[in-house]
Structure 1
């Protein structure tokens, strides 16, 4: 029903408009008494075989919503009702910012893909905190952190530290986003020296806290293997807890969408099916290179249940979806969890 009726209707509207409508509907529906319970009954799958303990956190299932959907921490409760095991809010920046000019989000239906150049649009950390202070116990939330666009790279460590300190008691883990292709010069922060400075300040602050919050680094799918090796070396040196692989790609290779359409869309990060193979390769390489020492959240191109299984088999401890959720609808998480449950039961036989 979703693919044949609902999605074609939704896809008649601009992607950013649809996103705002869906977020608003989720919030409105949750004001109805009993709606959360009803949604969980329809969409959520609970089973011991789905539970995962990763970097000291117990996840009810390994399927999360990637950063970018709940930028301002508005609907993490509602997303839990749709069956997600965890929500990564953000990307949050210290100050609110409008992001890049519109249009900045595009669909490529022939490729099962999205192109975005949002530019970290969000209302800032103080706004996110207003929502996060109301979170209920048992909700697992990650905070995806980014610098403000107007902050020069030499000021980036201060932006990340401000966010880290502000959100520390309100989220369960942190993701440091230095790999988004939609913020000018941000990817330069993946340089070893820049990373050391950013991560060093965060781990120093963490050492003085009573609670331990895992720190993960989100990396680009466009890194070469030597560059990934550099990332791994820095993470080991700084005592970072894991990797999120991968962000969106700037590559446009192998697309079915006509080249003139792609050229008209212009710059932006590509997500969805064209990213599946590269994300899997990156996760597999990191897992092999580190001998499984670093937990990995696998994200990028998970468009089917098979993709989720493949990502976990490649070495990911958890997976995240976004574009796959847009193209497959609200039952997608349920389908993945049911498939993982069947896989677990088959291994016992």
Structure 2
């Protein structure tokens, strides 16, 4: 109620990107003092529940709801986000070199559609800046994924060099990595989802992961691939098969969409990637398809239009082992996380499941 009645009206009167930076800066400040972290846990924290705990790739997740990439692009507020109820979080997308991104304005709200459109263009402080932020911050209590991409000026033929540079610089700081080849806001980036480019890129990424594992020891860190929701059925089949053969650890479905179907707000005319409620069913259907194509053997993180526990549960039943939110957090505030977790517990019990892992892909088994 505090967010919806006080914070949101103030933030929604501001330019969206200005509000974004204010939120990140506030979480950075509060999350980097012990008293602040305790306050965040008291206000928004989610109590661990055995039913919602799961393990993937040797990593324990206290609950299946994570923060999608794009909100904390520079890993500036990791301790803050770690204490408001997330089960894990993604930071980035980060590129090797600092990048200003596209011209402003580049972030737009569509309130009647419960959506956002962004054309940020991988604005970030680069691998050195992210490394500095992660090194200088306080303790984090949840698994951290680092979402990596290529600089705008790097041609696709040399893209693998950028992805390898990100892994090489940040391997010691993340629990797993996400290869972003699906943002619509970097020219030609989505072309890396197709053909020999994808095979070559993933081979290079896996090779770098293995090289860093040999250097650091311990558990080899997982790497996932984030794909677009706008692929044709034939493209989905080919892309998923290529990813499956590559040896990566999983898929995130999905990134933002270029579709504008059913939108009512005037900002629908803006270019960029659309996220939020209009993506709910599209991303769930993509999860369903990936699960079917891989016989449920390749873990999926579901992202796109999750506003309610029912939305999250549908993605889990379709085949997602974990889920991520972003746009709903902007519209609903941090209280969303407690609602999602409480709702998921209720839905699990209703269907007779004792663990979240038992519900993964259950829609396929019930057919």
Deviation at 1:267, TM superposition (A): 1.0
CA–CA distance in 2 between the matches of 1:168 and 1:6? 36
CA–CA distance in 2 between the matches of 1:207 and 1:87? 23
1:57-136 alignment runs, 5 A limit: 57-134=59-136, 136=139
Deviations 1:120-162 (A, max 9, x none): 0000001111122346364310010010001111110100011
Partner residue, 1:171:
174
Aligned Cα RMSD in Å? 1.6
Deviation at 1:32, TM superposition (A): 4.6
CA–CA distance in 2 between the matches of 1:302 and 1:214? 24
Partner residue, 1:14:
15
Partner residue, 1:199:
202
CA–CA distance in 1 between the matches of 2:86 and 2:25? 18
CA–CA distance in 1 between the matches of 2:349 and 2:310? 16
CA–CA distance in 2 between the matches of 1:58 and 1:44? 17
Give structure 1 stretches of 5+ with no counterpart.
none
Q: Contact (CA 8 Å) 2:244, 2:298: kept in 1 or not?
A: no
Q: Contact (CA 8 Å) 1:63, 1:86: kept in 2 or not?
A: yes
Q: Contact (CA 8 Å) 2:31, 2:77: kept in 1 or not?
A: no
Is 2:315 the counterpart of 1:322? no
Deviation at 1:4, TM superposition (A): 4.3
Q: Contact (CA 8 Å) 1:77, 1:139: kept in 2 or not?
A: no
Which sits farther off after the overlay, 210-219 or 292-301? 210-219
CA–CA distance in 1 between the matches of 2:38 and 2:191? 45
CA–CA distance in 2 between the matches of 1:80 and 1:199? 30
CA–CA distance in 2 between the matches of 1:337 and 1:249? 26
Deviation at 1:110, TM superposition (A): 0.9
Count, aligned residues: 345
* Structure 1 residues 31 and 93: CA distance shift in structure 2, 3 A: closer
CA–CA distance in 2 between the matches of 1:50 and 1:288? 24
Partner residue, 1:341:
345
Which sits farther off after the overlay, 225-234 or 313-322? 225-234
Partner residue, 2:222:
214
Partner residue, 1:146:
149
Deviation at 1:253, TM superposition (A): 0.9
CA–CA distance in 2 between the matches of 1:141 and 1:119? 22
Partner residue, 2:45:
44
Which sits farther off after the overlay, 90-99 or 38-47? 38-47
Partner residue, 1:332:
336
CA–CA distance in 2 between the matches of 1:173 and 1:348? 28
Partner residue, 1:34:
35
Q: Displaced runs of 4+ in structure 1, greater than 6 A?
A: none
Deviation at 1:5, TM superposition (A): 4.2
Deviation at 1:343, TM superposition (A): 2.7
Deviation at 1:59, TM superposition (A): 0.7
Q: Contact (CA 8 Å) 1:220, 1:248: kept in 2 or not?
A: yes
Give the structure-2-normalised TM-score: 0.90
* Structure 1 residues 16 and 48: CA distance shift in structure 2, 3 A: same
Give structure 2 stretches of 5+ with no counterpart.
355-367
Deviation at 1:28, TM superposition (A): 2.0
CA–CA distance in 1 between the matches of 2:202 and 2:254? 19
CA–CA distance in 2 between the matches of 1:6 and 1:89? 23
* Structure 1 residues 348 and 199: CA distance shift in structure 2, 3 A: closer
Which sits farther off after the overlay, 224-233 or 91-100? 224-233
Partner residue, 1:262:
268
Q: Contact (CA 8 Å) 1:283, 1:314: kept in 2 or not?
A: yes
* Structure 1 residues 196 and 31: CA distance shift in structure 2, 3 A: closer
Deviation at 1:192, TM superposition (A): 2.5
Q: Contact (CA 8 Å) 2:61, 2:142: kept in 1 or not?
A: no
The one of 292, 296, 300 aligned to 2:296: 292
Deviation at 1:6, TM superposition (A): 3.1
